[in-house]
Structure 1
């Protein structure tokens, strides 16, 4: 039956054209954005997973930045410790020279004083981002916690890992006030004990041989100073080893965080990225379908015109 009110062929062709246009719009959006799943309406499950993974990627990136700062701080502290060990070794050499009877110890003390000032400068200067692991107040500053990991479990809960640095093991100078009833715990704050009574003769940073003579007691005091500085160097060497181990651990965690970021990027891409080869092929096919649909609609519309010939 032919009807001028209802053109079934035209309606069918129009419906096919609308469907093809919708498919073309979707394909063009994928090509322009590079995403197969751009929002929740494309694929709710994949979009939700990808959104969570993007959030985790951002968190892990922040962890990586924190580890980078921690690594730089540890490296600065380690370099400062190495310089401090070198200067302390020079102080020990000067004390050994002062042990020889007849030398001018006041001149040697002048050199030692310069080395002591240099040692303090190195310790105070080993700071990065406002943090100094070689000096500080032991009563309030005992450790540092560096964020090292961000983990999401299967139930969606998250956990944050940290690397703890024991500052009591690396502190060379303690800024705590011993005069107000407190105590100092820096490696270089320990005093030289002399004789059975344990009388104090200063620290590595304050010892003074300028007034010492060739008497047996004074020579024994110099020997005690040499031994004390050597002991301090040994402790600083252990502290340097600890700092090196901390830096190695931080670097390992940072490399792992960077690997995690790359893996998450790959996982997100597998879920939501569009296959450009596939989409370009689909677009060409849809363009052909669109042209055919337009041609079919044109033919269907022309069919109604043939009815007029029946009335001529």
Structure 2
């Protein structure tokens, strides 16, 4: 193509038009993309700085997903803890209901006239809370019988007791055979009257002498002071069921104003005598009642009472009680027939309810998972908070020693119960104490998870704000001002029109030479 020679004016206007077209193209690109820096050629510093900021924002945005899952995992564990806590509270309610229920079954039996005294006969108890080994109580005596006993209190000398101040006293009140109580006081004068040298009780003999003198001084009769060595006994002079000794209000008083400690060994207590059984006699209902209730193997398992001349037996168990020696007519005869007393059905049903609730507790713990992680089973949840991995948190259920644990019946100390566990009030009290401790552990763990949840939520909010800051910073470096670019485009369009007109005028000037031809 041959070279075309343009005039200076035409070439100048052409260059101006080309420059305007290029500027218009650049402005249109900014309006189309919304960016004033589209490539590194536009502004290397801003382009690469914005790219770095956007990359960090993208990395942090990826962490938000794991944080969101972490929050849901903690919430799932909290849901499980809430349900477990309600379950434990329901178990407490079952125990308290059993504790308050006293609907133990009873039966009353008359003493059969055929018991007689020629053959030794007995009544025995088994099953229920007693077990399979029968516990027997004799119904009659065929030999010499048993003598009546007296009420007796025993104590052992403790250590030296010194009455070194004028007001030092060892006081107590005594009740003999139901008469009293009578106030009794031992002081330094009592020791002198008893022939004790000095003002100190040093052994059992001096203690017996001092107590005997004090009883005499108080005018107490009908009681004998006895014992050997370090022992002290107070025995009623009467015998039988009406014989009794009782001590109350045992206390030491220091005349010098300080607390005087009672080291004598004397303490509050009471004892009642037992009525005698004549040789070859059938025991009375009262005698049987007292013998049954005083039998340590039957204590808290059955309870006997006199029901208008009948022997009333109360089965203190959830299981059926078997009584050997009950006739088919329902009387006590010491024969081969048996009688039965049902167990406490209310408490027995509550045992089933308790165990069903216990089973649900573990199921709540097993189902409290999210995305394959179950904090109540001892799983660890690790969350990363920054793009470099230097900021993390480990979330896991732990005990009071900081060791990882699972939340279940075993770690909470809640055992499966059997009917016998609901027989005694003391056993129920022990179960209630265990559940109270379990609730404390659950609430402590819930508090720990709540603290972790707060940390993750705060970090999530922080990360969102940081992403916004980074993206805004990158936008400030690269985004175009559309208003400004639109104004520029309008100005360039005007300039383009003017440049075109100027180019046309320059071209017309070059054409003037044609008029010479």
**TM-score, normalising length: structure 2:** 0.49
Find the residue that maps to 2:419 and give its secondary structure.
coil
CA distance in 1, matches of 2:61, 2:452: 20
Per the alignment, residue 57 of structure 1 pairs with: 57
Point out the structure with the larger strand share: 2
CA distance in 1, matches of 2:421, 2:437: 22
Relative distance call for 1:135 and 1:164 in structure 2 (3 A) is same
Larger Rg: 2
Per the alignment, residue 247 of structure 1 pairs with: 453
1:163 aligned residue (393, 416, 425): 393
1:192-203 paired onto structure 2 within 5 Å: 203=413
Per the alignment, residue 490 of structure 2 pairs with: 284
Q: CA deviation at 1:185?
A: 5.9
CA distance in 1, matches of 2:371, 2:68: 12
CA distance in 1, matches of 2:491, 2:373: 63
1:185-224 paired onto structure 2 within 5 Å: 186=407, 188-190=409-411, 203-204=413-414, 206-212=415-421, 214=423, 218-224=424-430
1:113 aligned residue (355, 358, 364): 355
Range moving further from structure 2, 94-103 or 47-56:
94-103
Structure with more relative contact order (C-alpha pairs < 8 Å, separation 6 or more): 1
CA distance in 2, matches of 1:257, 1:121: 36
Point out the structure with the larger helix share: 1
1:148 aligned residue (385, 405, 420): 385
Q: CA deviation at 1:7?
A: 1.2
Per the alignment, residue 154 of structure 1 pairs with: none
CA distance in 2, matches of 1:239, 1:124: 16
Contact kept? 2:361, 2:409, Cα under 8 Å = no
**TM-score, normalising length: structure 1:** 0.79
Find the residue that maps to 1:303 and give its secondary structure.
helix
Contact kept? 2:377, 2:406, Cα under 8 Å = no
Per the alignment, residue 73 of structure 1 pairs with: 73
Find the residue that maps to 2:385 and give its secondary structure.
strand
1:303 aligned residue (477, 485, 509): 509
1:232 aligned residue (438, 461, 469): 438
CA distance in 2, matches of 1:259, 1:163: 20
CA distance in 1, matches of 2:486, 2:421: 91
Q: CA deviation at 1:303?
A: 2.2
Q: Count the aligned residue pairs.
A: 269
Per the alignment, residue 178 of structure 1 pairs with: none
Deviations along 1:48-75, one digit per CA (max 9) or x if unpaired, are 0111111111111112222111111111
Contact kept? 2:28, 2:489, Cα under 8 Å = yes
Q: CA deviation at 1:144?
A: 2.1
Find the residue that maps to 1:38 and give its secondary structure.
coil
Contact kept? 2:73, 2:369, Cα under 8 Å = yes
Contact kept? 1:73, 1:131, Cα under 8 Å = yes
Per the alignment, residue 34 of structure 2 pairs with: 34
Find the residue that maps to 1:123 and give its secondary structure.
helix
Contact kept? 2:351, 2:422, Cα under 8 Å = no
1:251-262 paired onto structure 2 within 5 Å: 251-262=457-468
1:126 aligned residue (368, 376, 383): 368
CA distance in 2, matches of 1:88, 1:213: 17
CA distance in 1, matches of 2:467, 2:53: 10
CA distance in 1, matches of 2:422, 2:398: 37
CA distance in 1, matches of 2:399, 2:58: 34
The runs of at least 4 consecutive aligned structure 1 residues that moved more than 4 Å come to: 184-187
Deviations along 1:230-252, one digit per CA (max 9) or x if unpaired, are 11110110000001111111111
Relative distance call for 1:22 and 1:224 in structure 2 (3 A) is same
Deviations along 1:214-240, one digit per CA (max 9) or x if unpaired, are 3xxx54433222211111110110000
Relative distance call for 1:83 and 1:48 in structure 2 (3 A) is same
CA distance in 2, matches of 1:19, 1:11: 12
CA distance in 2, matches of 1:12, 1:88: 94
